[in-house]
Amino acid sequence: MDFSALRNLISRYCTGEENWVDSRTVYIGQREPPPGTEAYIPQRFPDNRIVSSKYTFWNFVPKNLFEQFRRVANFYFLIIFLVQLIIDTPTSPVTSGLPLFFVITVTAIKQGYEDWLRHKADNAVNQCPVHIIQHGKVVRKQSRKLRVGDIVLVKEDETFPSDLILLSTSRDDGTCFVTTASLDGESSHKTYYAVQDTKSFNTEKEVDMLRATIECEQPQPDLYKFVGRINIYQDRDEPIARPLGSENLLLRGATLKNTEFVYAVAIYTGMESKMALNYQSKSQKRSAVEKSMNAFLVVYLCILISKALINTTLKYVWQADPNRDEPWYNGKTDHERQRHVMIRAFTDFLAFMVLFNYIIPVSMYVTVEMQKFLGSYFITWDDEMFDEELGEGALVNTSDLNEELGQVEYVFTDKTGTLTENNMEFIECCVDGHVYVPHAICNGQILSGSSGIDMIDSSPGPDGKEREELFFRALCLCHTVQVKEEETVDGIKRGIHQGKATSFYISSSPDEVALVEGMKRLGFTYLRLKDNHMEILNREDEVERFELLEVLNFDSVRRRMSVIVRSSSGHLYLFCKGADSSIFPRVISGKVDRVRARVEHNAVEGLRTLCVAYKALSQEEYHNVCQLLDSAKLALQDRDRKLAEAYDLIERDLILLGATAVEDRLQEKAADTIESLHKAGMKVWVLTGDKMETAAATCYASKLFRRSTQILELTTKRTEEQSLHDVLFELGRTVLRQHGSLTHDTFSGLSGEFQDYGLIIDGATLSAVMKPAQDDSSGNYKEIFLEICRNCSAVLCCRMAPLQKAQIVKLIKASKEHPITLAVGDGANDVSMILEAHVGIGIMGKEGRQAARNSDYAIPKFKHLKKMLLVHGHYYYIRIAELVQYFFYKNVCFIFPQFLYQFFCGFSQQPLYDTAYLTLYNISFTSLPILLYSLIEQHVSMDILKRDPSLYRDIAKNCLLRWRIFIYWTFLGLFDSMVFFFGAYFLFDNTTFTSNGQIFGNWTFGTLVFTVLVFTVTLKLALDTHYWTWINHFVVWGSLLFYVVFSLLWGGVIWPFLNYQRMYYVFVQMLSSGPAWLGIGLLVIISLLPDVLKKVLCRALWPTSTERIQNVEKLYQSHLSEFTPLPLLNSSLPDFEAHNINPRRSGHRSKELMYTHWRGTTGYCTFSSTLGPPGIGRTHRLVGLETSV
């Protein structure tokens, strides 16, 4: 007896999978099948709600608190607060509790508001109306109430509410046109097909009478894969079964176009739809700076524990002498004195922890939150990032990652709608070497003054006239374009020429539309496909009819398509168009050399080129072609391979006619932005769902690939010829043969020293690379793939599913270097990679606002990415790095004298400073100057950061928060604190008297140390400030003045709410002593001197690029004339003076000089070359030897 089925059932039930099955059965219209056909098994499916929010009303408080207390700092301050509540400590619990409560509350309000916006957006989607067929009538419901099996009516320009199987359409042939721009980035029209047996159902009653079931696979995220079948029950006993594929599946988020209505049945709803499955779950992102802060916090926590342990141990060593007991002023009771020594020691340890607790800067987290929140407004206020066309500027959806914008190493960008405008423009065509350039035509928009044809080169002779017209006819016939006989397309009036409405072309390929429109301008107009006959209007206004016999569809492996047509005279032709690499080897005659030269010329210009060829067929040849195609199409096994073999046999012995050039128009300044990102040290990857050829052409146009770039292909075509293992190792040897173990600068290819490599990979091959190896012999493909990518200057990933985009980003994030990644896109298909990357940026494009809503930042155009990273990101990182290091530094200066003081007070936990000073040091006396610095500091001007992207490299890899710099700041704080304490101790030890002969007491000593401390740390920040405004002066000097005024008032008035007056007259008494004034000034100078000397020496001997720029900015204000040779900008002031003495110093390089014109009003420079044609600008680095790029 076979118990395997029972065992599987029990196994699944025990593991919580009792409802899990391999496939699902959907009952159309919620109707049961006829009795006796099959068992009716109702299944439970989720509703149609979409949820992108993170919290609910009930779990917000516990979930948010849990996430916030996962931060080391927040958890630590909570423990300290509880300790202060439980035991008697030297300081009040309010000093820790209030700042902690403020941070938690502000963060919770901010995150709650962001999640409320997501809830609001979800509700808008879930409550939108849908039309459902029930009992033969159309019923209107909310989208969230849609169920699996419901029949839905969708009208033109409406978005599909769930994943649907197409049953019938308003078109007689059962087809409909759909745009999937929000899913895969392709805004072109795609054709989908209704089920053959239901396509004639055109009314609600007919559709409602349908009795059928759909068996299909369980939901999975692949947009291009679907397997199922429909069983249609009629009068007969056995149902009619029809296969279902991806061509029958309408995806949620796609839009119905140029079809009046469709009827379809819901099979995947809500979070099971393919669009939702491609969404990454939203997770809390942590910046590299925050991780560094947490690491530094752990170090300071160890220092704090060490201090507490040392003091606790030394206290009991001190009290081991019978003559030394607990000091009387601590007020310990007899009961407390007689406790067990371990309990007393533990209590003392906690008391020391609280006393030294201020070394951990709780106010730093408050200041960081305020700095991020307020600093984010500088992006939204930036007028240069405002787009007039959209009427919107940049948006900040989360301010937690501002500084991460200055640390980006990898940029992953979508293509369609992000790099390009998705507007194909026909540029020219070449027939037998004769070039034709019509005026600009773009997607039906005929520009003014476009009558006539520009002829370049000589016109063809009489013999060439026939071939010219054959070329035009070939392009009018060899395509899959549909004709729209209306005045509007997508709600936009297009193609109105001389007051008359004209036909419009729609296709799954925008460049096909551009080619047909180009032929229309050149005199041959494609009219329609009617009754399987294609009609074109020639130059003599005569209609020519060609019978369409066969279509050999385009595929990315063949890289060409063909049609076989019969003319009205009975002649048979095969017209073929495709990439030059797939056409030239199949050509046996024609002006190959002249056409190839023109193709190469256009390729260099970044245009997408196609070659056109033909051959005449005899009746016998056509009969053989039909037999080949029929046998391949009827094959059940290996159908794709047999069709490819048939196409290969048919498309041979062609005659070359000519070539075309089409441009996918880039967004404004997209190429300049990518070039700037490259110079800044970032690697740019393009991840797109588009075809390889289209994407590659865009990469050339956007300067991601250059003419000298050697393209490496890791595609399905390549892996079909060789195994994946062999291809990977061959590519690895290719890129490593030259580079070897040397560190390859991805931009050195410009100088010709290295060969630049560009990698192209498609989605299917990426899946194979990412798949875990079955055995060790095949090796780790991921590591080899990553090694190849590291040595390529650019990578193009095409035919990517949305989840694959996220996998690529995750793969790079998890590599051994752990680089900071940024993803930028404009459609719902980009949401996964935007959520996966460290920083996600959405483009406010034409494909909806899903990307902008789910991103961390949103910008109107791709060009704005340049300023966001090179300027705002640079500033944010510089500012917050100084803020973090400065806070740790000033708290070391603050608390280390307290540690030293315990050695002089018998380790009695006596505070060195007054409680008011302890509380207000971080809140009032030293907080505003660093907050203002972190908001407005500009170490170099904005224009220089934009003009010299290489300055971005100076802050790469979190260089300002490395351990070496952290240790320097810590030791500087230790040095300064020892100067404060021992300077005051030795200068005033038994020597300083007031005017009435009294010696300074302990509170006066502590106040003296605190005064030196406040002035030193404030002046230290003033020395680090490069960008001074009246606000800086007001805050810096105002903070010092506030400290003095507060101290005078605090010690000069008897406050009735205090039960002690230990600070009464202390500050005034200290200032009445001349030696105190001298000591304060002397100690402040001694404390600041080492840091000043270090900066002067480093700037003189080992200046960074940024420091050279700062020197230049100071020089030009008083020394530079209007025109100064660029090499002098790299020189120090003595070099400049020497140049004035010897003006011929650079004479031998006069031809290479670039001149800079300094504009004194804005502090930036513009460069114009003295070489080359006018109007061509070249960008140069301000530092190092000038190099032309």
Distance CA 219, CA 272 (A): 6
- Please tell me the total number of residues recorded for the chain in this structure: 1189
User: Which run of H or E residues covers position 1140?
Assistant: helix 1133-1141
DSSP bridge partners of 1159: 1164
Looking at residue 295, its amino acid is A
CA quadruple 742, 748, 754, 759: dihedral, nearest 10? 90
Asked whether the beta carbons of 582 and 649 are under 8 A apart, the reply is no
Distance CA 387, CA 392 (A): 6
Catalytic site includes residue 414: yes
Distance CA 591, CA 576 (A): 16
438 φψ region: left (φ > 0), alpha (ψ -120 to 50), beta (else): beta
Asked whether the beta carbons of 196 and 10 are under 8 A apart, the reply is no
Nearby residues of 1023 by Cβ (< 8 Å), 6 or more positions away: 1088, 1091, 1092
Six-digit token pair at 159? 């978005």
Check residue 510 and report its DSSP letter: H
Q: Which residue has the tokens 């919580």?
A: 16
Asked whether the beta carbons of 798 and 695 are under 8 A apart, the reply is yes
Distance CA 1032, CA 1022 (A): 9
Six-digit token pair at 1146? 């650079």
Sheet holding 757-762, edge to edge: 395-396, 857-859, 839-843, 821-825, 410-413, 683-687, 794-798, 757-762, 710-714
Catalytically annotated residue among 150, 184, 414, 664? 414
Six-digit token pair at 315? 């206290």
The beta strands (E) that lie in 779-833 are given as: 794-798, 821-825
Distance CA 600, CA 581 (A): 11
Looking at residue 46, its amino acid is P
The angle, 0 to 180 degrees and rounded to 10, between the axes of the packed helices 874-901 and 1002-1024 is 160
Distance CA 595, CA 1001 (A): 97
Distance CA 181, CA 925 (A): 55
Sequential DSSP letters for 431-449:
ETTEEEEPPPEETTEEPTT
- CA gyration radius for the chain? 37
Q: Which residue has the tokens 């078109």?
A: 171
1005 to each of 374, 820, 986, 1054, 1069, how far by Cα in Å? Answer: 39, 49, 11, 21, 11
Nearest to 492 by CA among 253, 262, 258, 185: 258
Asked whether the beta carbons of 710 and 207 are under 8 A apart, the reply is no
Q: Is the dihedral of CA 1118, 1123, 1126, 1131 positive or negative?
A: negative
DSSP bridge partners of 663: 425
848 to each of 255, 488, 629, how far by Cα in Å? Answer: 11, 21, 42
Distance CA 796, CA 805 (A): 11
Distance CA 688, CA 498 (A): 39
Distance CA 184, CA 800 (A): 8
How many CB atoms neighbour CB 628 within 10 A? 17
Nearest to 26 by CA among 228, 161, 174, 207: 228
Six-digit token pair at 201? 């159902």
Task: Please give the positions annotated as active site.
Answer: 414
